[in-house]
Amino acid sequence: MKKLVSIEEAISKIEDGMTIMIGGFLACGSPNKMIDALLQKGVKDLTIIGNDTGFIDRGIGKLVVSGQAKKVIVSHIGTNKETGRLMNEGKLEVVLVPQGTLAEQVRAGGAGLGGVLTPIGVGTPIAEGKDHLIIDGKTFLLEKALRADVALIFGSKVDEKGNVYYHESTRNFNPLMATAADFVIVEAEEVVKVGELDPHLIMTPGLFVKQIVKA
Amino acid sequence: MDAKEIIARRVAKEFKDGDVVNLGIGLPTLVPNYIDEDVEIILHSENGFTGIGPAPEADQIDPNLVNAGGMPVTIIPGGVFFDSAMSFTIIRGGHLDATVLGALQVDEEGNLANWMIPGKLVPGMGGAMDLVGGAKKVIVAMTHTAKGDLKILKKCTLPLTGAKKVSKIITEMGVMEVTPEGLVLTEYNPEYTLEQIKEATEADLIIPENIREMC
């Protein structure tokens, strides 16, 4: 199965109204070529799941500024003024989630779980409207699993079977998101031949990855 | 010494050799400058590694290696990279000895508000809720008041980041411990009188007989 495709071919999978996970943390480890291709294609009404909305000119933030996102599910929007402005004008729905909860919701989505129980957020505004469960005397919130139509992730070294190695702090949400979407596209900083990556050091098994594009 | 230096110096005495510590953005990042040479702490960065080293020289900046504020950093020998789920397993699972963060408000029950001002500033919680809820010791490090506004209150009025989680408050005026009886001023800065400290604090302060000078 040939996974290495052009950006045009990969981007053709993304349509208006889709839910997309995008890896990265403040644009570090984000699939920037794919984000630019989404801007160019102009798909709209996207629901974007990511750690944050990056900056106005870097990372997920570009898709907020362009008005292509109708909803974002993220832990932080403070580095992108446009997110707050659009939210206040009622043009963008923003769901703020504690970062660790977001990571577990995505992990659960990829692991076939319905959700997770976390003590984080009990007694704060984010607990409002959520199911509270008391287990062995301790209160937990039920946070449902998250899945997406497409995940766009970034890998530092990717072999032609889609096995991924992430360098330094680019890893963040990428390996979690690779498990939690129907269609996973990895943007590879470097594409290598099968066998070149030490199997011990592969962080995302290629079975999760449908397509590879070159960064 | 300015207020920030006084606070950072005092916070630095809170750690013992081998502690795993997460330092929030801003003032808390000054703390490592004051830690005793014979105390080695492991600094955790919630975007996915332990072993945060000093900021790199301008010509050594690596875009793949940033801290949770998105700023370029380095990693020290022995440091480890991981994904966001592992990062918050460390935080939430009781493997983080302490977190140090700033506050907009903190109260005598140990409630903390630092993630939003409704209608004004909504940056999001990022990892703060997980840190406050998960760390074994939550240390609030901040200036005692904000331009005259009181921040150490009887009851927080802003949306909470965490309920009843703060262990200790360290300001330029003194050190306060959160106890079931209320806030105990265990140490004070002799540059201020006890009356001045009480005036700058809305919460009732319990003054123990064995109160010490802050060092």
Q: What is the DSSP string of A53-90?
A: --BTTBTTHHHHHTT-EEEEEESB-TT-HHHHHHHHTT
Best mutation target among B25, B45, B83 (most A Cβ atoms within 10 Å) is: B83
The position carrying tokens 């998101």 is A177
Q: Which residue of B lies nearest to A83 if distances are taken between CA atoms?
A: B123
The reported pLDDT for the residue numbered A71 is 98
Question: In chain B, which residues have their Cβ closer than 8 Å to the Cβ of A187?
Answer: none
Query: Is A4 at the interface with chain B, CB within 8 A?
Result: no
What pLDDT tens digit does each residue of chain B (215 aa) get? 899 999 999 999 999 999 999 999 889 999 999 999 999 999 999 999 999 998 999 999 999 999 999 999 999 999 999 999 999 999 999 999 999 999 999 999 999 999 999 988 889 999 999 999 999 999 999 999 998 899 999 999 999 999 999 999 999 999 999 999 999 999 999 999 999 999 999 999 999 999 999 97
Helices marked H in B127-189 — which ranges? 128-134
Query: Is A79 at the interface with chain B, CB within 8 A?
Result: yes
Which residues constitute the domain of residue A199? 7-113+145-214
Residue A134: inside a domain: no
| Dihedral sign for Cα atoms in the order B142, B144, B150, B153 | positive
Closest-CA distance, A126 to chain B, in angstroms, reads: 9
The answer to whether ipTM exceeds 0.85 is yes
The reported pLDDT for the residue numbered A3 is 98
Rounded mean pLDDT, A145-159:
98
Question: Which A residues, 98 through 137, put their C-beta within 8 Å of a C-beta on chain B?
Answer: 98-104, 107, 118-126
The reported pLDDT for the residue numbered A168 is 98
Whether B122 sits inside 8 A of A176 (CB atoms) is no
Q: How far apart are CA A76 and CA A90, in angstroms?
A: 18
Q: Which residue of A lies nearest to B85 if distances are taken between CA atoms?
A: A103
The reported pLDDT for the residue numbered A215 is 93
Backbone conformation region of residue A80, classed left if phi is above 0, alpha if psi is from -120 to 50, else beta: beta
Per-residue pLDDT of A14-70, as tens digits, reads: 999 999 999 999 999 999 999 999 999 999 999 999 999 999 999 999 999 999 999
Residue A137: inside a domain: no
The ranges assigned to domains in chain B are 3-213
Residue A208: give its domain's CATH number. 3.40.1080.10
Residue A157: inside a domain: yes
Determine the angle formed by the axes of helices A99-110 and B84-92, rounding to 10 degrees: 120
Residue A34: inside a domain: yes
Number of domains in chain A: 1
Residue A128: inside a domain: no
Residue A136: inside a domain: no
Compute how many other C-beta atoms are within 10 angstroms of the C-beta atom of residue A12.
Answer: 12
Compute how many other C-beta atoms are within 10 angstroms of the C-beta atom of residue A56.
Answer: 15
* Strands of chain B, DSSP E: 20-23, 42-45, 49-53, 74-81, 98-101, 105-107, 112-113, 137-141, 145-146, 149-150, 152-153, 168-170, 174-179, 182-188, 205-206, 212-213
Query: B3-213 sits in which CATH class?
Result: alpha beta
Q: How far apart are CA B154 and CA B97, in angstroms?
A: 27
HEC letters along A94-120: EEECCHHHHHHHHHHHHCCCCEEEECC
